[in-house]
Amino acid sequence: MVRFIPYLVVGIITSFYFFPISFTFLPSSVNTKMILAVIGIVLAGYRSIREENINIPRQLLLAIGIAIIFSLICFISTDINYTNDYSYAGYIVSFFVWLGGAYTVCDVIRYVHGQVDFKVITLYLAGVCFTQCILAMMIDSIPAFRILVNTFVSQGQEFLDDVGRLYGIGASLDPAGVRFSLVLVMIAGLLANDKEIRQNNIAIALLLIAFFTISIVGNTISRTTIIGMVCGIAYFVISSGLFRLLVRYDSIKLGILFGLLLLTAVVVSVYLYNVNDAFYGYMRFAFEGFFNLVEKGEWSTSSTDKLNREMWIWPEDQRTWLIGSGLFDNFVYSTDIGYCRFILYCGLIGFSVFAFLFIYLGAVFALKEPKYRLMFLIFMFLTFVFWFKVATDIFFIYALFFCLDQFVVINEKEEISYENNI
């Protein structure tokens, strides 16, 4: 049992990064992401002093440059519009906070496992998301546990309780759905491409259990999860090897396990739907679109109807279209839609730079790691899909990839090195 303690600690640290929380006994402006970022800066500084050089991948330098340009455009927008809304004018700070936090997570994983690659980080993220789904069910079902969590964790749970939404420890609403979606795609990528995983029946079963649990319970937390579920299943089907002329044994085995666990998930869900009132409510919310399609003949949800009816709000003059109004916070335009909020804040100029950043990041990793090229193309696609529903970004996942031993291998042609300058 003792040997599992390091893995548990790594899992908690990963959750603190992926699902940041604030504590009730600390200032509300301090969260776990910031704490990990500070630790990451210290660790990176110590490593640079010890090795007497600083190595920065060129790919990361260009990403930093794009983030700086975007921040400057946002600052100019606030300046010429005489506002003090610096929500994204300080994006470069957020950029480095995510990098610092990711460095801490990967350094801890490297210390425990000896290396940090895509497989290890995906296993931890899958475990964290699975745990968040279980925690959300416990918080909703066990009042004593909910009181315990709310005593120490500050995550805006008053609002979540008022609107009747499930939440884990840091996992709630669309930010949770975005993260669940990315991890579902990563699980599909791992199952499709990692030979060691494909030869391990227990690992396959555990990953598929996590996949279906996140797909079902994750949708009760945030219906954005369904986007990742669909993309993950499509990715799995395309890359599983089941539709080639010569089908390998491990592909057949993977397909059988997937089918069996999918059938099990459906049977268990249908059973609980019919006998458990709470689960009935969860499913009616999570898959409202499917129920409306079956019962009313059209796909619709209350949230998408509201988005389409009220929230497509665009600039009303040419200047705002170009450089924005410099206003973003406090739901000032009464819209959640990412495209609208970004363009209203920093105009088409700022939004174009921001969008290019995530096209660039996806392209960099797609070219760097051909085995996972389809996954990174899906990430690029998801970025633009998420913006139909929420104003967010997914740099937190790319920050982890920049810290892996696998995707960014620095060599003399790909690094900027400042040797003996410390």
What average pLDDT does the segment 260-286 reach? 86
Contact 17, 102 (CB under 8 A): yes
Contacts of residues 56-61 at CB distance under 8 Å and 24 or more positions apart, as own/partner, are: 56/415, 56/416, 57/402, 57/408, 57/410, 57/414, 57/415, 58/414, 58/415, 58/416, 59/364, 59/368, 59/402, 59/408, 59/414, 60/402, 60/408, 61/416
pLDDT-derived band at 91, boundaries 50, 70, 90: very high
Q: Which of 342, 357, 345 is nearest to 390 (CA)?
A: 342
First vs last Cα of the chain: how many Å apart?
A: 43
Look at 373 and 288; give whichever has higher pLDDT: 373
CB atoms within 10 A of CB 366: 18
SS3 label, residue 317: coil
Look at 213 and 281; give whichever has higher pLDDT: 213
- pLDDT for position 242: 66
Q: What is the value of pTM for the model shown?
A: 0.91
Radius of gyration of the chain (CA): 22
Give the C-alpha separation, 110 to 11, whole Å.
Answer: 13
| 255 has pLDDT over 90 | no
SS3 label, residue 397: helix
Residue 312, φ and ψ in degrees, nearest 5: -85, 85
Kindly list the distances between the CA atom of residue 336 and the CA atoms of 1, 219, 245, 382, in Å, as whole numbers in the listed order: 46, 19, 46, 17
| 183 has pLDDT over 60 | yes
Q: Which of 182, 43, 189 is nearest to 106 (CA)?
A: 43
Contact 81, 326 (CB under 8 A): yes
| 301 has pLDDT over 70 | yes
Residue 412 CB contacts under 8 Å (≥ 6 apart), including other chains: none
- pLDDT for position 126: 96
Q: Which tokens belong to 316? A: 């009303």
Q: Is 352 exposed, middle or buried (0-12, 13-18, 19+ CB in 10 A)?
A: middle
Question: What's the mean per-residue pLDDT of the chain?
Answer: 87
- pLDDT for position 408: 55
pLDDT-derived band at 421, boundaries 50, 70, 90: very low
What average pLDDT does the segment 304-331 reach? 85
Residue identified by tokens 């600690």 is 9
What are 24-36's pLDDT values in tens digits? Answer: 888 888 899 999 9
pLDDT-derived band at 219, boundaries 50, 70, 90: very high
What are 129-148's pLDDT values in tens digits? Answer: 999 999 999 998 899 999 99
Kindly list the distances between the CA atom of residue 133 and the CA atoms of 45, 179, 212, 286, in Å, as whole numbers in the listed order: 36, 12, 11, 13
